[in-house]
Amino acid sequence: MSFITEIKTFAALGSGVIGSGWVARALAHGLDVVAWDPAPGAEAALRKRIANAWPALEKQGLAPGASPDRLRFVATIEECVRDADFIQESAPERLDLKLDLHSKISAAAKPNALIGSSTSGLLPSEFYESATHPERCVVGHPFNPVYLLPLVEIVGSNKTAPEAIEAAKAVYTALGMRPLHVRKEVPGFIADRLLEALWREALHLVNDGVATTGEIDDAIRFGAGLRWSFMGTFLTYTLAGGDAGMRHFMAQFGPALQLPWTYLPAPELTDGLIDAVVEGTGEQLGERSISALERYRDDCLLAVLEAVKTTKAKHGMAFSD
Ligand SMILES: NC(=O)C1=CN([C@@H]2O[C@H](COP(=O)(O)OP(=O)(O)OC[C@H]3O[C@@H](n4cnc5c(N)ncnc54)[C@H](O)[C@@H]3O)[C@@H](O)[C@H]2O)C=CC1
Ligand SMILES: C[N+](C)(C)CC(=O)CC(=O)[O-]
């Protein structure tokens, strides 16, 4: 089975925060977009959100012919998906609702049109259960604002064809995104597992009166948050181990994971886990030395700090605000 990867018409079902972000991204890439949402006033709200996003998309650069006028809002699911080359569902996060919606979407769509769901954690094997041609159905989990953030997690169900994963990667890449294939179908996928862990700890800190929400946000945005925009936790901590890298870092700070700092139980620090972390970060390092990566990190940090400072000034804010 071959799937459509040359996309001219993009269908969006559900046009709230995430659906409207997909519509804006697809329009900015010069596609025709057909949207459907059952809520009263949904079309006006969608057009308003696109108008709000458009200046940023113009700054980023539009594809030839890109225009908000290429959005058509329709009254039925069938009309929305019938001629679509790619379909993205962004309906409320309810299993029963998505199950019913996908049986209708997939029955009306072209059989070789890929279908993506924006779900942030439901399992595709469950909500694509009664889909027609389930081999072309995937999760394409984006990040808000969808029209700017590149990450999209792709997750297949137990019936998704491997070729559909590759085809979805090609489509999302053509939309300017950075696909990440989540190979095991687990609730929350990869990114939300991480975000939820941080979120849970943050709520405990508020609940225990340790810090205000503002202080917790400051702890992120003036520290690790700046680093995270260009270097993930594993490589960052490899550098924190100095020239001895990750193995030294694990020896020095690994035992602290057993301290009761967090409400999450720590995993047992087995040799297997330590080796997996050391080998993984070794691959990430590749041929680069720790000091070369430190210079790269410092340059990125300076660039991010300067960009944040200039943008804050434009909005009448000091860097420390
Ligand atoms: N808000 C976020 O930060 C993120 C949300 N997501 C996922 O995106 C999906 C949508 O979430 P949001 O846009 O945040 O929700 P939202 O509440 O902003 O929008 C949902 C939209 O779906 C519409 N809707 C209601 N019933 C529907 C139906 N039967 N069929 C189609 N549309 C229907 C609503 O009228 C509304 O416009 C969810 O699966 C969520 O997990 C993914 C990434 C981030
Ligand atoms: C809150 N959320 C789980 C829906 C968030 C996401 O899924 C991704 C994001 O944009 O943070």
Q: State the pLDDT at residue 264.
A: 82
pLDDT exceeds cutoff 90 at 208:
no
Q: What digits encode the pLDDT tens for the residues 73-98?
A: 999 999 999 999 999 999 999 999 99
- Residue 78 near ligand 2, beta carbon < 6 Å: no
Q: State the pLDDT at residue 83.
A: 97
**How far does the centroid of ligand 2 lie from the alpha carbon of residue 193, in Å?**
10
pLDDT exceeds cutoff 80 at 1:
no
Q: State the pLDDT at residue 260.
A: 83
- Topology of domain 9-182 in CATH is Rossmann fold (3.40.50)
**How far does the centroid of ligand 2 lie from the alpha carbon of residue 142, in Å?**
8
Tell me which of 13, 15, 17 to substitute to probe ligand 1's pocket, judged by most ligand atoms within 8 Å of the beta carbon.
17
Q: Among the atoms of ligand 2, which is closest to the Cα of residue 191?
A: 8
Instruction: Compute the C-alpha angle 155/8/82, nearest 5°.
Output: 75
Q: Give the whole-angstrom CA distance, residue 286 versus residue 279.
A: 11
54: CB partners within 8 A, 6+ apart = 24, 28, 68
Q: Give the whole-angstrom CA distance, residue 98 versus residue 96.
A: 6
Q: State the pLDDT at residue 268.
A: 81
The answer to whether the 9-182 and 191-314 domains have the same CATH topology is no
CA atoms within 13 A on the CB side of 262: 13
- Residue 130 near ligand 2, beta carbon < 6 Å: no
DSSP secondary structure code for residue 94 in this structure:
-
**How far does the centroid of ligand 2 lie from the alpha carbon of residue 196, in Å?**
9
Q: What digits encode the pLDDT tens for the residues 43-79?
A: 999 999 999 999 989 988 999 999 999 999 999 999 9
Q: State the pLDDT at residue 273.
A: 85
What residue ranges do the domains of the chain occupy? 9-182, 191-314
Q: What is the mean pLDDT of residues 247-266?
A: 89
Q: State the pLDDT at residue 294.
A: 82
- Residue 18 near ligand 1, beta carbon < 6 Å: yes
Classify domain 191-314 by CATH number.
1.10.1040
The pTM for the full model equals 0.92
Residue 171 burial (10 A CB sphere; 0-12, 13-18, 19+):
buried
